[in-house]
Chain A
């Protein structure tokens, strides 16, 4: 049957085949160009807007390529507004927000990596009772809209604030983010550890290694790339988080996602400055994502697809 079909190929004239051969790649590269444009254009426009003088932003239609590119907005956000510039007052706190985001995201990443690695190793190797049920339960917590946690935490943190000062503080945000991200971190790392053959640790045990020693000397080095990917994911997630930061931070620990939404004056929203804040705020997650692109897709799917 198969042979019969192949001996009667669908008739295609030589001309049609030539056209298809010529148009095929052209159509494909046209499609590719459209895809690249669709993905890039919105972000590139934000960047262009951030370096265009105010007057060019309000032209009709807009100047697609800035005639007189300027970095005054970047300068104002990092070094404070120069005299004579109309920059919203909230710009002065932008650098502090950037530092806050850095501290909180790093703190969250370290906390999640240490606590998460230890817990995931125990789940993967040490025959924890009800292992599967506990892991599934922690993932169920992920389905909750985060506001379910925010509402009572708001009450609790205000109540204990005279003693612990977690409201509007770095430590408070690190704790909140860690609790929110740890279930995912443990889940993904557990599945990483599963892929590492147990025999290696058994060999280490025979050579006189304790379980903890085997984890540090054998498992962690092998899981290295996975750990790096999880760390990047944790950093990115806490850097990008908005709702908790909106509720729990104010003057002291305000993060960058909250800060960029606040560039408005009594005359309206300063889009140029918002675009500048958006570009700056996107740089750390973009750098991380690009550096780790090999692990991002593989890493984040291995955890979820196992489900």
Chain B
């Protein structure tokens, strides 16, 4: 506050104005973001099971974290989450780069393609779940019907129960996620590719570099910042997945798609153990923060080549 007294009247009035302008946003964020964040940190350190009201509020230290980390179901769920995130993000980025490279030229209908790519991105994730649950329906679904007509399935008796086994179901969740997220990544990478000066490729070609070398030594390094942001954001969102799981598989079959986001929901609002739910959610938060720090290091190293 000594700084405040040293300020000139103009500076001080600007500071007061700044405070006044920030106050509405700050109040809302404090009330429904910051305060709840601290409150759930506290809740993760006490007992808070709605099914056992008499024990609510008893301080237990790190017990909720310890019992979570000692629970094999938590680790199953963590493993599934990592499998889902790695597979989905790798496919989305890989396909995104590939498709963007293909589309990065002048052709008729270019703006139509850009418009089209927004469709899966814009629709609610819940609707994505509905679309694929219907397509993958074992008896009436479009996918089995299509495979039957293409002759890849001999008769309706051989219809595949897409969401019937844990591994296959997880792959189908990945498929739905890839469908929704890849087109937007294509748009992001296309935008980044536009900033690559075309002369560079020509120069490299003249110097005798093949197309693969040009891709890995010139194009990809030049769009690295966009790539890293896309990978980082996609990973964070994939680790938090909930809507798609809720509508498509409800975590099943036999917990095969029970990712952390869904597991936390079950613990909190089905088993009603809110303290345990808060602890799991915080573990996920710590994991995401760690990942973001790692990504940030990589990003800044990559930019200064």
A positions within 8 Å CB-CB of B: 1-2, 5-6, 28, 31-32, 35-36, 38-40, 42-43, 45-46, 49, 57-58, 60-62, 111, 114-116, 118-119, 121-123, 126-128, 138, 140-141, 143-156, 175-176, 178-180, 182-183, 186, 211-212, 236, 239-240, 242-243, 246-247, 256-257, 260-261, 269, 271, 274-275, 277-278, 281-282, 285-286, 288-290, 293, 296-298, 301, 304-305, 307
CB within 8 Å of A: which of B286-303? 288-289, 292, 296, 299
CA distance in complex: A298, B118 (Å): 13
Taking a contact as CB atoms under 8 Å apart, the answer to whether B148 and A119 are in contact is no
Complex contacts, A288 vs chain B, CB 8 Å: 122
Also in contact, A179 and B183, with CB within 8 A (given A148-B37, A285-B122, A286-B122)? no
Q: Which of A6, A61, A260, A288 has the most CB of B within 10 A?
A: A61
Count CB-based A-B contacts (< 8 Å): 272
Taking a contact as CB atoms under 8 Å apart, the answer to whether A145 and B99 are in contact is no
Q: A293-B115, A305-B229 are in contact. List 17 more A-B contacts (CB 8 A).
A: A32-B107, A40-B116, A43-B131, A45-B131, A45-B134, A62-B145, A126-B14, A146-B240, A148-B37, A148-B282, A152-B278, A179-B28, A211-B17, A261-B246, A269-B133, A290-B118, A301-B226
Also in contact, A297 and B187, with CB within 8 A (given A39-B116, A151-B281, A242-B124)? yes
Q: Is there a chain A Cβ closer than 8 Å to B76's Cβ? A: no
Complex contacts, B133 vs chain A, CB 8 Å: 269, 271
Complex contacts, B33 vs chain A, CB 8 Å: 141, 149, 179-180, 182-183
A152 partner, pick from B17, B43, B122, B236, beta carbons under 8 A:
B43
Chain B 14-50 interface 0/1 with A at a Cβ cutoff of 8 Å (1 = within) = 1101110110111011011111110110010000100
Taking a contact as CB atoms under 8 Å apart, the answer to whether A42 and B122 are in contact is no
Chain A at the B interface: mostly helix, strand, loop or mixed? helix
- Of the listed stretches B86-94, B212-220, B260-268, name the one at the interface; the rest are far from the partner chain: B260-268
Task: For B3, give the chain A residue with the smallest CB separation.
Answer: A129
Taking a contact as CB atoms under 8 Å apart, the answer to whether A182 and B261 are in contact is no
Also in contact, A285 and B22, with CB within 8 A (given A141-B34, A145-B281, A178-B28)? no
CA distance in complex: A240, B31 (Å): 23
B-side interface size class:
35 or more
29 contacts between A and B (CB under 8 A): A28-B102, A38-B179, A46-B130, A60-B139, A60-B145, A111-B28, A114-B24, A119-B24, A122-B17, A122-B21, A122-B22, A127-B18, A147-B261, A147-B265, A148-B281, A151-B274, A152-B39, A179-B28, A182-B29, A182-B33, A183-B29, A247-B269, A260-B127, A261-B247, A277-B130, A281-B127, A286-B123, A289-B118, A293-B114
A141 partner, pick from B37, B43, B142, B242, beta carbons under 8 A:
B37
CA distance in complex: A71, B206 (Å): 61
Complex contacts, A36 vs chain B, CB 8 Å: 113, 116
Taking a contact as CB atoms under 8 Å apart, the answer to whether A149 and B28 are in contact is no
CA distance in complex: A31, B101 (Å): 12
Q: Is there a chain A Cβ closer than 8 Å to B62's Cβ? A: no
Complex contacts, B156 vs chain A, CB 8 Å: 60
B positions within 8 Å CB-CB of A: 14-15, 17-19, 21-22, 24-26, 28-29, 31-37, 39-40, 43, 48, 99, 102-103, 107, 109, 113-127, 130-135, 137, 139-140, 142, 144-146, 148-149, 156, 179, 183, 187-188, 191, 206-208, 225-226, 229, 233, 236, 239-240, 242-243, 246-247, 260-261, 264-265, 268-269, 274, 277-278, 281-282, 284-285, 288-289, 292, 296, 299
